[in-house]
Amino acid sequence: AFDGLKTGNAVVYPMSAQMRLLIDATVVGEQRIFGLEGLAGDPLFVELAGGTVPSIDTVYRDLTRMDSLENAKLELIMAQHGLDALSSLRLDRVHCDIDTTVEPLFGEQEGAELGYNPRYPGRRSYHPILAMVAETGTCIGARLRPGDTGLGDDDASLIRAYVSRVVSHVPAKTGVVVRIDAGADCTRILSAINDVPGSLFVVKARLTPDLAGEVMMATHWTTVDEDADGEPTVQVAELTFQRDEWVEARRSFRVIAVRRRDRDTGKQVQLWSHLDYTVQVFITNDTVSDPWEIAQQYDGRAEIEPRIAELKNGVGIGKVPTGHFEANHAMMLLKLLAHNLMRAYVTAAASDLPWRGPWLVRALLRVPGRLSRSGRQLRLHTPPASRLHQIQRHLC
Query: Phi then psi for 200, rounded to 5 degrees?
Result: -120, 160
Checking if the pLDDT of 157 tops 70, the result is: yes
Cα distance between residue 175 and residue 70, in whole Å = 32
Q: Which amino acid is at 123?
A: R
For residue 176, what pLDDT is reported?
95
Q: Give the pairing of strands 93-100 and 129-133.
A: antiparallel
The H helix count followed by the E strand count for the chain is 14, 13
CB 22 within 8 A of CB 35: no
> pLDDT band at residue 268, thresholds of 50, 70 and 90?
low
In 3D, which of 133, 36, 88 has the Cα closest to residue 347?
A: 88
Cα 124 to the center of its chain, rounded Å = 22
Contacts 24+ apart (CB under 8 A), 296-300: 297/95, 297/177, 297/179, 297/202, 298/179, 298/202, 298/204, 300/95, 300/134, 300/179
For residue 272, what pLDDT is reported?
66
Residue-wise pLDDT for 283-333, tens only, equals 999 999 999 999 999 988 988 888 999 999 889 999 999 999 999 999 999
> pLDDT band at residue 358, thresholds of 50, 70 and 90?
confident
For residue 331, what pLDDT is reported?
97
Cα distance between residue 75 and residue 129, in whole Å = 12
Of the ranges 299-303, 337-341, 343-347, 360-364, which is most confident? 337-341
Q: Is 268 exposed, middle or buried (0-12, 13-18, 19+ CB in 10 A)?
A: exposed
CB 172 within 8 A of CB 150: no
For residue 330, what pLDDT is reported?
97
For residue 267, what pLDDT is reported?
58
Name beta bridge partners: 99.
130
Checking if the pLDDT of 265 tops 70, the result is: no
Q: Which amino acid is at 147?
A: G
Checking if the pLDDT of 356 tops 70, the result is: yes
Checking if the pLDDT of 160 tops 90, the result is: yes
Checking if the pLDDT of 275 tops 80, the result is: no
Of 276 and 363, more confident:
363
For residue 263, what pLDDT is reported?
67
> What number is the average pLDDT over the span 71-76?
97
pLDDT above 90 as % of the chain: 66
Tally the C-alpha atoms within 13 A of residue 396's C-alpha that lie toward its C-beta. Answer: 8
Other Cβ atoms within 10 Å of 83 Cβ, number: 21
> What number is the average pLDDT over the span 27-37?
92
Q: Which H or E run includes 199?
A: strand 199-204
For residue 1, what pLDDT is reported?
92
Checking if the pLDDT of 18 tops 70, the result is: yes
pLDDT above 70 as % of the chain: 96
For residue 395, what pLDDT is reported?
62
* Dihedral (Cα; 356, 360, 361, 366), 10-degree rounding: 160
Using the 8-state DSSP alphabet, how is residue 73 labeled? Answer: H
58 to 6, 37, 172, 320: CA distances (angstroms): 12, 12, 47, 17
Q: Which of 93-107, 244-258, 264-278, 309-323 has the lowest mean pLDDT?
A: 264-278
CB 256 within 8 A of CB 282: yes
Q: Which of 3-7, 91-95, 113-117, 229-233 has the lowest mean pLDDT?
A: 229-233
Can you tell me whether residue 309 is helix, strand or coil?
helix
For residue 359, what pLDDT is reported?
85
